[in-house]
Amino acid sequence: MRVGYTIFILFLSFSLLGFLNVCNAHRLRYNFYKETCPQANWIVKQIITNETRTNLALGAHLIRMQFHDCFVRGCDGSVLLDTVNNGSKVEKDAIPNRSLKGFDVIDDIKNAIEKVCPNVVSCADILALAARDAVSAPFKRRLWNVALGRRDGRISLASETNGNIPSPFADFTSLLETFNNKTLDVNDLVVLSGAHTIGVAHCGTFSRRLYNFTGKGDADPTLDPTYADILRKQCPSPANPNTIVEMDPGSSRSFDKHYYHILRQNKGLFISDAALLTNKESESIVIRLQRSRGLFFAAFARSMRKMAAIDVLTGNDGEIRRNCRVVNP
């Protein structure tokens, strides 16, 4: 009886947790700041528009930042927090986050909004809007809608990035498990991986595929040999930590479905990219996204809305930070 009762309680707890996550996500609204800060969306768009004129990589920077925020503690702006007074290391101090860029842009947006609507708009919402607007900027239109109403978390721990942020070294099973743990499915995994169509990567994140992959001085056999030769010229061994390479060769500044073309040519940069071809279901999604003219943008918008609602804080949970880098006193 005790075993059965314990299992029932665990099942009930997980069910309630899932229910609460769904309820919180449903509290997000597209017009959340209509009465309290109607200028918020406009301010974000204007600053992002100005920034992207001179920083063409901003879209890649901010969407990566949003991914890394949402996969740890949910979309609560915890990745924006700084370590204070030699305290515990925060998320941005963790190895996967040390190369994140764009924090200064989030600060500029927050400062501008605070002048107009103090203590109203969360840093988590600002990040969600800024990432969308930065990726959308070249298109002169919004690529997806952003529901608002998130509140900011007060906890950020570098140790919690381990096992939560998808690794570029992960195989398919590990990737899917990480996504499933965040209420995302295999379709979301393949679609959101399409964000690798913009941006760059450091040699260390993929150099193992070029040298001594199986311990015999060989390259990853799933990597196109000609492409591997090109990468070796860019990233000689040992890898220079400052050298960067396009994630989507020839298209790293264009947000499109080109990623799926190079993936099927065995030119996916990371082990995690190549992993999408090792499962029949994910491979079929890759093929469908590659062949269809408009499917990628619609699918990406749908998956971004799901991801942006992971474990959000709403209502009286969390806070509205006055400064995105520190919790309120």
- Residues designated catalytic: 68
79 annotated as ligand-binding:
no
Query: According to the annotation, is 294 in a ligand binding site?
Result: no
**319 labeled binding residue:** no
- Helix H, strand E, coil C: the string for the chain is CHHHHHHHHHHHHHHHHHHHHHHHHHCCECCCCCCCCCCHHHHHHHHHHHHHHHCCCHHHHHHHHHHHHHCCCCCCCHHHCCCCCCCCCCHHHCHHHCCCCCHHHHHHHHHHHHHHCCCCCCHHHHHHHHHHHHHHHHHCCCCCCCCECCEECCCCCHHHHCCCCCCCCCCHHHHHHHHHCCCCCHHHHHHHHHHHHCCEEEHHHCHHHCCCCCCCCCCCCCCCHHHHHHHHHHCCCCCCCCCEEECCCCCCCCCCCHHHHHHHCCCCCCHHHHHCCCCHHHHHHHHHHHHCCCHHHHHHHHHHHHHCCCCCECCCCCECCCECCECCC
Query: Is 220 labelled a binding residue?
Result: no
- 167 among annotated binding-site residues: no
Q: According to the annotation, is 76 in a ligand binding site?
A: yes
* 229 annotated to a ligand binding site: no
Query: Does 281 count as an annotated binding residue?
Result: no
Say whether 146 counts as a known binding-site residue: no
Has 69 been labeled as part of a binding site? yes
Which amino acid is located at 97 in the chain?
Answer: N
Q: Is 26 annotated as a binding residue?
A: no
**Binding site as annotated, residues:** 69, 72, 74, 76, 78, 91, 166, 196-197, 248, 256
Annotated binding residues for Ca(2+), written as ranges, equal: 69, 72, 74, 76, 78, 91, 197, 248, 256
Annotated binding-site residue numbers for substrate: 166
